[in-house]
Structure 1
Amino acid sequence: MTNQQMAPKILILTLTFLAFVLRLWHVGGMPPGWRDDELINSLVISQHVLDGQWALYYADASGHEALYHVLNAVMLGLFGANWAGIRLLSVFLGTLTVPLTWLLGRKLFNGTVGLLAAAGLAFSFWSLMYSRIGLRHILMPLLTLLTFYFFWRALKRRSTNHRPPITDYGLAALFMGLGFYTYFASRGVPLILLAFTVYLALVDWPLFRRKWRGIGLMFGVTAVLALPLFLTLQQQPESEARVAELAVPLVEARNGNFEPLQRHIIATLVMAHADGDDEWLYNIPHRPVFGPIAAIFFWAGVAIAAWYTLKGIVLRIAYCVLRKN
């Protein structure tokens, strides 16, 4: 292996080590003290696992999927109810997202993009914040990165005899399915890939024709994996109290009051550059996601992505119309 081939691997290993140090350093005291969410997660819900009360979904604290708590129970069993038992899992999970970001960036674009994205994540405030508290949210980026990586690898791999690369689609389905057992927001990941599939059918029909079987297989396996959770929730619908809490703006909009929904949309749009979450558990109150320079690059990226997406769809529609005529 040449020095040119070794350099990116050395850089990502260095970045991963620095990310681990930043997430581990003084993790027992920063953030200071214990928040009720952390204690409920570890000392109540994860304790159910240690007590042998196995379930796919726990109704405690407005409802929690089980996967993170199974992993957290292992840490509690090894280290006890202290900073290591409660927060060390998040340190490991947050660190692993750095090399996975590099892998996905390299697969989507090239090695340079992958390294820049990994470096940005390694020193990102929100990644650091969530990697230093014992909450289940930190597992979702890891599973989402793995889902997108294997999906994209399957999409770009050459098929033989029109047979899809089953392993890659299967792994994408596995990690997407595991996401359902991690955090409520993971239920949106299939919608992202479904939207991309529709886009693919519009702008690159030949590729879609070659890949639709594998994509269909991926969604089918994901549905099978998620089915036990939804059957469990159907039997105890009251356990998903968190969904009812978050759905208030949509419920109000359905009743004709669009003000709460409008307020939430505006808050989401400005959080990237102007005003972030005011809850100190998740943020330095009102700190935006990006600084001024990074925010410019972020919105420029959104604009470029929107331009290429709309351009591809318009060109495809124009081609179909002209061909028909």
Structure 2
Amino acid sequence: MTLPEKPEPSVLDYLKGRLFPRKNPVIQIPDVELPPSEEIAPVIKPESRVQKSRGHNFIWLLIIILLTLLAGQKLLEPPYPIISLALIIWGGAAGLVILNWLRGNFETNLYTCKDEDGEGQVIRPWFLTVSLCVGIAATILFTRNRFTPINLSLWAVSILCLILAFIPGLKWNRIRRDIHRILEGISRTDFRIHLSPWSIVWVLSLALVLFFHFYRLEQVPLEMISDHAEKLLDVNDVLGGKYSIFFIRNTGREAFQMYLSAAVALFFKTGISFTTLKIGTTMMGIFMAVYMYFLGKEVGNKWVGLFAFLLSGISYWPNVISRIGLRFILYPAFLAPALYHFFKGIRRKSYLDLMLAGIFVGIGLQGYSPYRVVPVLLVIGLVLYLVHFKQTQRQVFAGNALFIIGLAALILFLPLLRYMLDQPEMFSYRTLTRIGSIEQPLPGPAWQIFLSNLWRAIVMPFYKNGSIWVHSVPNRPALDVVGGALFFLGLLVCFLRYKEQKDWRIPFMMFSIPFLMLPSIVSLAFPEENPCLNRTAGAMVPIFLITAMGLDTLLHNIRIQFSGIKSSLITALVGVIILSLSAVQNFNLVFDAYNANYIFESRNTSQVGQVIRDFVEIYGDPDSAYVVGYPHWVDTRLVGINAGYPTKDYALWPEKFDSTLANPNAKLFIINQKDTDSLMKLRQMYPDYFETRFRGWLEAKDFVVFLVPPAVGSRLESTVK
């Protein structure tokens, strides 16, 4: 009897065996070897839409977009901005970008935030406890608004223990090997330097930034204003041994610039001078630009970092507030490193970077009062992080990050914290005079003033940066034509990137711009002071970061239209042209427009001081020179500083002329050219005189030099003979 052949198992039998193996046999599918002649054809990936566009001359559309953006910003330049036409042109440019992005022709998804697991993070509770305890002791001893050797030593120990609490273990063997290798390289006689193309680009970029910061530093700006007198008198106090925590002149100032300027005066031998202030703040401007590179590299790539470094290093806005020699640059200078370590610490789950972010926050709080919004901004950043990542593990990490940043900032803030507790009115007086009606009543409803200030601040990069001549070219955009166009493109790119990536850093950067402008926006009692380049200075960090992203995205889309060496050459050519146009306009803005307007508006105290200095060199008596007081003229304290006598005020009002009669020495009177009454009175008092008109920087700056020779028989009369 022949058994029937077992039928071949079906697909249903296979599924029954897999789903119910206890009731049905499991069907095994044997491996099948293909004959040698049968090969699997390779999978051909479809060509991307960007690649297809190469044959459609998409490069010309990119050039049109760039030119359209530049034309729109150019129409907003003074003296006759055409707002409606600029908006129409920009609307067309934005439409082209969005349309081509939707078609896949314009790439924006270039940067990703790849979180790391943060393994090996260190917290040493013992050092942390010591840091807190010693910090409390230092705070108790920060009394009477003075730094002393004891409280400074305790504060330094607290900071050191804070760092040791989070710094990873050092690999000493590796450090020794690295040092040994470096020393061997230095001792070699055939020492060579190998520069890559990237290194050459970096060196040239650094040279350009240094040029923009130090070129004609002594002449631009030329004269000091009353705020400089306050600063230099504080610096003189420091050099004289008075080590204040908070400097109370002129409604109060934080301490960082005073000690920085004192160090500059000692190291560079520049004394109590405008140059001393300028060197310190210009160095901080370069410090900010360098950290802009690291920040750009962290949120983008090395090219975003390079463009952020260049744009923040050559642009008119940061250069002017660096050169003016006041505290303004400290706002962005300490914000850039704080944001860099904040972003890096969150991405890498690095407690060390979070601690460094807190340290820079604490230092910044002792630099310039608008920086007080930064701690709140970082808290908002952590909230945005949690909104995008709702896992319990991320929530725990965000809590740890808040604790570490807050603790580090608090320890660095301890001296000023003690002063704030002792003198809360003085600490907050300057801010309250702008927010409230302490000095003058609000000119209208607070909410209306706030909304008006908010709008004017937001459009400041494109439209008008305010009317304060000390640190701006009045009523022009805060950015140059290229910068404004690229910033607008960068905002579009960030919006489109967020649609693709949901990167939490994008809404944070965009939100931070108006938030960092709040110190200017909340000037409700003095709305004419808003916008201004100094109190909004922190906003330049995200602004130049987004601008750099706009430039990098544009150049990337140009590069992918070509292949080989042609791609690199064309991209480099376009990039050099764009940056050159920006450099030329920014150079003219700083060294031509700003400089000329500053000379026109300022008082020529340096020339008055030089006349007194020459008088003292001849007659040897600094106490026999006088500047006759006149309304809205020179600050006579600045005259003393320029003459080389920083603590001397040379003011003499006409009603005090009689007090000079008892002085038998040669006397010098400096008189405003419009003060004919004082001049006539001096002619009557001293019939034997020499009088001349001193030519100022401008005709309106001329002044009268009135010299009375020494009396016969006086000590100075015999000296002159």
- Tell me: CA distance 1:25–1:295, structure 2 relative to 1, closer, same or farther (3 Å): closer
Among 237, 247, 272, the alignment partner of 2:435 is 247
Q: Is the 8 A contact 2:324 2:471 kept in 1?
A: no
- 4+ residue segments displaced more than 4 Å: 249-253, 303-307
State the Cα deviation string for residues 225-255 of structure 1 (Å, max 9, x = none): 32431331232233233112221389978x9
Shift of 1:294: 3.1
Q: For residues 63 and 302 of structure 1, what CA distance do their matches in structure 2 show?
A: 37
1:223 aligns with 2:393: no
Check whether the contact 1:56–1:181 (CA below 8 A) recurs between aligned residues. Answer: no
Alpha-carbon spacing, 1:63–1:110, altered in 2? closer, same or farther (3 Å): same
Name which of structure 1's ranges 183-192 and 204-213 shifts more when overlaid on structure 2. 204-213
For residues 187-232 of structure 1, what are the alpha-carbon distances to aligned partners after superposition, in whole Å with 9 as ceiling and x for unaligned?
1111221111001101123473363223421122213432431331
2:243 corresponds to: 54
Q: Using a 3 Å threshold, how does the CA distance of structure 1 residues 312 and 86 change in structure 2: closer, same or farther?
A: closer
**Residue equivalent to 2:77:** none
Aligned residue in 2 for 1:235: 422
The equivalent of 2:368 in structure 1 is 183
C-alpha spacing 1:238/1:218, structure 2 compared with 1 (3 Å) = closer
Determine the C-alpha separation between the residues in 2 that align with 1:25 and 1:116: 21
What does residue 397 of structure 2 align with? 211
What CA distance in whole angstroms lies between the structure 2 residues aligned with 1:208 and 1:9? 38
Tell me, in whole angstroms, the C-alpha distance in 2 between the residues paired with 1:119 and 1:293: 13
Question: As a proportion of its length, which structure holds more helix?
Answer: 1
For residue 74 of structure 1, report the CA deviation from its aligned partner: 1.2
Q: Which runs of 5+ in 2 are unaligned?
A: 1-192, 504-721
Distance 1:302 1:188, change over 3 A: farther
| Cα distance in 2 between the residues matched to 1:296 and 1:155 | 31
* Distance of 2:251 and 2:364 partners within structure 1: 18
Aligned equivalent of 1:156, options 347, 366, 369:
347
The Cα shift of 1:181 comes to: 0.4
Q: Is 2:264 aligned against 1:75? A: yes
CA displacement at 1:278 relative to structure 2 = 0.6
Secondary structure, aligned partner of 1:281? helix
**Secondary structure at the residue paired with 1:205?**
coil
State which of 216, 220, 238 in structure 2 corresponds to 1:30: 220
Deviations 1:5-26 (A, max 9, x none): 9433432332222212221111
Deviations 1:86-114 (A, max 9, x none): 21112211122222111110111101111
CA distance in 2, matches of 1:5, 1:25: 27
Flag the structure with larger Rg: 2
> Cα distance, 1:155 vs. partner?
1.6
Residues in 1 aligned to 2:312 and 2:462: alpha-carbon distance in whole angstroms: 17
Q: In structure 2, how many angstroms separate the alpha carbons of the residues matched to 1:105 and 1:74?
A: 31
Higher relative contact order by CA 8 Å / sep ≥ 6: 1 or 2? 1
Deviates more, 1:140-149 or 1:217-226: 217-226
**Match among 463, 466, 479 for residue 290 of structure 1:** 479
- Alignment correspondent of 2:229: 39
Residue 73 of structure 1 and its aligned partner are, at CA, apart by 1.1
Residue aligning to 1:14: 204
Structure 1 gaps of 5+ residues are 160-164, 314-325
Larger deviation: 218-227 or 297-306? 297-306
SS in 1 for 2:236: helix
Deviations 1:134-182, CA, capped at 9 Å, x for gaps: 111212222111111222222222x5xxxxx332122111111101100
Distance in 2 between the 1:268 and 1:238 partners?
28
Instruction: Check the 8 A contact 2:228/2:274 in 1, yes or no.
Output: no
SS in 2 for 1:55: coil
In the aligned structure 1, how far is the partner of 2:342 from the partner of 2:306? 20
Question: How far apart in 1 are the matches of 2:437 and 2:306?
Answer: 39
**Is this contact kept in 2: 1:177–1:225, CA < 8 A?**
yes
Residue type of the alignment partner of 2:359:
L
Residue of structure 2 in register with 1:258 after alignment: 447
Structure 1 CA distance for aligned equivalents of residues 213 and 396 of structure 2: 43
Are residue 123 (structure 1) and residue 276 (structure 2) matched? no
Instruction: Tell me if the contact between 2:358 and 2:409 (Cα under 8 Å) persists in the aligned partners.
Output: yes
Distance 1:8 1:148, change over 3 A: farther
Letter in 2 for 1:85: T
**Aligned-partner residue type, residue 319 of structure 2:** L
Task: Provide the rounded CA distance (Å) in 2 between the counterparts of 1:285 and 1:61.
Answer: 25
Q: What root-mean-square deviation, in Å, do the aligned CA atoms of Structure 1 and Structure 2 show?
A: 3.0
Preserved contact between residue 273 and residue 290 of structure 1 (Cα < 8 Å) = yes
TM-score normalised to the size of structure 2? 0.39
- Rounded to whole Å, the distance in 2 between the matches of 1:261 and 1:18 is 39
Alignment check: 8 A CA contact 1:94 1:138 kept: yes
Q: Secondary structure at the match of 1:131?
A: helix
Q: Using the alignment, how far apart are the partners of 1:83 and 1:40 within structure 2? A: 12
Q: Does structure 2 conserve the Cα–Cα contact (< 8 Å) formed by 1:57 and 1:65?
A: yes
> AA paired with 2:322?
S
Distance 1:211 1:203 in 2: 14
| 2:470 aligned counterpart, secondary structure | coil
Query: Superposed, which structure 2 residues align to 1:85-96 within 5 Å?
Result: 85-96=276-287
**Aligned match of 2:351:** 166
* Secondary structure class of the residue paired with 2:263: helix
46-55 or 112-121, which deviates more: 46-55
Partner residue of 2:253 out of 53, 56, 64: 64
Q: 2:430 aligns to what SS in structure 1? A: helix
Paired letter, 2:456: A
Select between 204-213 and 138-147 the one with higher mean Cα deviation: 204-213
Please give the secondary structure, in 2, of the residue aligned with 1:79: coil
2:209 is aligned with what amino acid? A
Q: TM-score, normalised by structure 1?
A: 0.83
Match of 1:162? none
Tell whether the 8 Å contact from 2:235 to 2:272 is kept in structure 1 after alignment. Answer: no
**Change in CA separation of 1:84 and 1:31 when aligned onto 2, cut-off 3 Å:** closer
Please, which moves more after superposition, 81-90 or 145-154?
Answer: 81-90
State the number of aligned residues: 304
Change (3 A) 1:297 1:25: closer
Structure-2 residue corresponding to 1:276 = 465
Does 2:298 match 1:107? yes
